[in-house]
Structure 1
């Protein structure tokens, strides 16, 4: 087995301990299952994938239910191309509309329509119940606090400090 780190670095790899490997595999399995569970629930009950729901939520929480497309891509951690396709689909459904950004000729805003807000309001109770059943009903209040703290630490550590980082949502 090659003990060097990937990328030509000659330092020995810091392999995961059995305990870390078990935690890592449990994390991967749980996040994949949770993503699939929530996506299936939203497809079945609201006729949309989880990413569309997340996009509608972002717009609903924005001032005047509008947000620049670039800001949406960053918030959702998806490429601008994927966002553009999602917004186009939501436009065809009548849930979102686009308009040019008055302060930037190259930019566009996505705006949540009244119909989109109604769809979100109808989908939200079922989605929240699915999140509660899949996650929070299985944890003690102490575990919920620990999970929140762990996820905050991971997110802060992964948030790029370099604005020139090659991130999908900046492409």
Structure 2
């Protein structure tokens, strides 16, 4: 049985939280909500979601600062962050990507677009996990290959010491 994908939505506007939550819940995602940056930070450190949908403009800690803090923590640095904003300017978008955001969705939301972008990031995260697993297996094989090469060299030296130069297989 596959574990459901968990998504944290961070937005200071309750109507946005409810709309996005309803759309994501209908797609069978596990959804958590936070109405400000501090609440989100505490929530994420306690239990990491698979992905974060993050509003930029919030009172107190804005989305940029929250993302920056998350990317500084080893426990949370790899969580994909999709920024949500009414700001459609290049400077905001560049800043969002520069501090670690993986995508940027402008408001008003087009729910189909949100779902597609979320699913793309979830798929990318899954592929990254598989790639990391492959890298670990390659490292294990390299270690085993080195051990085997050492053992073969030891055997060769023992055979040479015994005066045996060749072995017929």
TM-score when normalising by structure 2: 0.26
Greater Rg over alpha carbons, structure: 2
Structure with a larger share of its residues in helix: 1
Higher relative contact order (CA 8 A, sep 6+): 1
TM-score when normalising by structure 1: 0.26
